[in-house]
Amino acid sequence: MSLNQSPNGREAERVVGNNVQRAKISALGTYTPPRLLTNADLEKMVETTDEWIIERTGIRERHIVEKGVGTSDLAFEAAKRALAQRGLSGRDVEVIIVATVTPDMFFPSTACLLQHKLGASGAWGFDLSAACSGFLYAMATGAQFITSGRHKKVLVVGADVMSSIIDYTDRTTCIIFGDGAGAILIEAAEPGEDGLIDFNYEIDGSGGDDLYMPAGGSRMPSSVETVEKKLHFVHQNGPQVFKFAVRKMYEVCDTLLKRNGLTGDDIDIFIPHQANIRIIEATRERLGMPPEKVLINIDRYGNTTAGTIPLATADAITQGRLKKGSLVLYASAGAGYTVGAALVRWSF
């Protein structure tokens, strides 16, 4: 066995004997809470209009949890659905990775809470913090446990209750975010099957102040003052985040496509993180892809952070646009900054 240092830079595979061992996505489950927060609702809460929100973001409605519902509850529903799709139970899971920026608590991790809820007594796991790139980062991380041969079934969840950290008096942020979760099971691909082909991820910490939650951590612990100053909510420099996302989502996709000898023409479906319809459209255009190749569902969910990519993937399947053998290009950009692109040959 040796790590495959192939000249095209592919990182998501391992050579076992004469075969390349790849990881594949074998199941997908999603969950959004039933309660809707529409643009009409927001018009009553802040000075905004349905027209402005649709034109500037593409969002019409978002799903929001009831009080007392945490990220692990959403993760549990999504994970149950993914496991049921493969006819498995929690006992079959070996590793749980939960991507989130809204854990139920700082500790224990949401992965531990989920392990208990699922009865996944044989699994170990951890949370991963990469904001809107969290799901893609967790997917590649989970795949490594498969390609290394160390584990056979890895559950990767992207889940966020963004409504728990949104200031519903701030019209520049409260219109954007929603709550949701998605879970995938990652297993070994069959010999000759592609699965997760390659990924290209970058972080740029110099943009940390453009999108962050200032208080509640070790540097600025919670106090009456931090609550009064609304420092436990999302603070964002919207136009700056917008510019970064448009530039970098294209760049990481372009690099990934080129090093795999591909162009936009080879991609069956482009599934980007859903942050703003204008970011998605600008990225798609720069990649030279026609509109019918991109999945957009931000109108129904808003930005659910780690939940957007699995939710969009599920919609692509439902719409008949993602089938076994389809070549998917994923892309994300988020707080940190974090940015990523991944190539997946769909497996079911």
Which residues make up the interface to ligand COA (CB under 6 A)? 48, 52-53, 56-57, 132, 171-172, 175-176, 211, 236, 238-239, 241-242, 245, 275-276, 303, 334
Token pair of 168 as six digits = 């519903």
Closest approach, Cβ 99 to ligand COA, in A, equals 13
Report which residue's Cβ sits closest to ligand COA.
238
Cβ proximity to ligand COA: between 2 and 206 the closer is 206
Taking the complex as a whole, the smallest distance from the CB of residue 181 to ligand COA amounts, in Å, to: 17
Q: Report the catalytic residues.
A: 132, 273, 303
- Could you tell me the smallest distance in angstroms from the CB atom of residue 153 to ligand COA? 30
Cβ-Cβ contacts under 8 Å for 141 (sequence gap 6 or more): 97, 128, 156
β-pair partners for 185: 27, 155
- Please classify residue 336 by burial: count the beta carbons closer than 10 Å to its beta carbon, then call 0-12 exposed, 13-18 middle and 19+ buried: buried
Task: Select 85 or 240, whichever has its Cβ closest to ligand COA.
Answer: 240
Angle at 119 between CA 113 and CA 123, to 5 degrees: 75
To ligand COA, the closest distance from the beta carbon of 332 in angstroms equals 8
CA 81 to chain centre: 17
Pull the structure tokens for residue 270.
Answer: 């482009």
What is the distance of C-alpha 178 from the center of its chain? 13
Contact (Cβ atoms closer than 8 angstroms) between residue 338 and residue 137: yes
Is the CA virtual torsion 275, 277, 281, 284 positive or negative?
Answer: positive
**How many Å apart are CA 180 and CA 33, to the nearest integer?**
7
Closest to ligand COA by CB, 53 vs 215, is 53
Q: Rounded to whole angstroms, how far apart are CA atoms 131 and 144?
A: 20
CB of 178 to ligand COA, least distance (A): 12
Q: Which is nearer to ligand COA, 31 or 242 (CB)?
A: 242
Q: 39 vs 347, which CB is nearer to ligand COA?
A: 39
Give the tokens for residue 306: 């780690």
**What angle do helix axes 238-259 and 277-286 make, rounded to 10 degrees?**
30
